[in-house]
Amino acid sequence: MSIFNKALASFGIGAATVDTVLAHDTYTAGDLVQGNVHIKGGNVEQRIDAIYLSLNINFTNKTGDKEYEDTATVFQKKITEPFTIQAGEEKSLPFSFNLPFDAPATVGRTRAWLNTGLDIKNAVDPNDKDAVAIRPTRIANAVIQAVKNLGFRLREVECEKAGIRMNTRHSFVQEYEFVPTSGPFRGYLDELEVVFINQTSHKVEVLFQVDRKVRGFTSFLSEAFEMDEAFVSRTFTEQDLPTLEQDLRCLIQEYL
């Protein structure tokens, strides 16, 4: 019976199970995440080589003309050394880690989840998935609010495959797409795209794409060749927050 149970466990039947419980389900990028991993032994003794936590997000990838949803790992941590879980035994292992400051916010189409995996040799690895809500950092959120205060409406947020020239450690970037509905830029811009490239606890590098509204045949040709788009990069710190809205107004006006 023991050999039979071991064989079943190797296929995940009657094997150890895992359940991760987070202290909270909503965090700001950079926050300390705490929780416990609960493991329950199955019908037979099993050796757990490792337990891994990984924070994953979805993003839109492209191959040629085709688009498909892909997954990227933003953070991964090993939380234990090898150990043996007896049949029916229960263990609870606490963990903690800091969310990366560049973890994308879970807005628009972006989803994030914490995956817990047990690494068991020659067996199907048990795993657990827990949804995580992530808010942008204080400075990134201030940039978003300043853009809205200038009369822009947030139309869409999506994680997309990063361009080869983008200075980011991930395979994706999160793009915020705004359209002017009031204020000084209504009628002058089609849209404003905002991408947070690099973030730390005290600064954020932002890439803006200013898409000017076309007027006349010459402007139509400019749009056809994407000459109506301007790209500009700026880095903002805590010291910039009091004048952020005015600084953004001046920055955008330079590219009208």
Structure confidence at residue 1 (pLDDT): 38
User: Residue 55 corresponds to which tokens in the numbers above?
Assistant: 């924070």
Least confident span in 9-13, 65-69, 98-102, 188-192: 9-13
Q: What is the pLDDT of residue 50?
A: 87
Burial of 81 (0-12, 13-18, 19+ CB in 10 A): exposed
What is the overall mean pLDDT for the chain? 84
What confidence tens digit (pLDDT) does each residue in 200-254 have? 889 999 999 999 765 443 444 344 434 467 889 999 999 999 999 999 999 999 8
- pLDDT by residue (tens digit) across 126-176? 678 999 999 999 999 999 999 999 999 999 999 998 876 677 888 899 999
- pTM for the full predicted model: 0.83
**Highest mean pLDDT: which of 6-10, 79-83, 152-156?**
152-156
- CA-CA distances (angstroms) from residue 256 to 193, 213, 215, 243? 14, 9, 12, 21
What are 109-132's pLDDT values in tens digits?
999 999 998 886 644 456 789 999
Q: In angstroms, rounded to a whole number, what is the distance separating the alpha carbons of residues 248 and 2? A: 69
Specify the fold of 2-6+14-135: Immunoglobulin-like (2.60.40)
Mean pLDDT calculated for residue range 73-83:
92
Instruction: Calculate what percentage of the chain has a pLDDT beyond 90.
Output: 57
Residue 164's pLDDT is 67
Band of pLDDT at residue 15, cut at 50, 70 and 90: low
Six token digits for residue 24: 């909270």
What are all long-range contacts of 210-217, with beta carbons under 8 Å and residues at least 24 apart?
Answer: 210/252, 210/255, 210/256, 212/188, 212/255, 212/256, 213/187, 213/188, 213/189, 214/190
Where are the domains positioned within the chain?
2-6+14-135, 138-253
User: What are the distances in angstroms from CA 76 to CA 51, 55, 64, 201?
Assistant: 11, 6, 30, 20
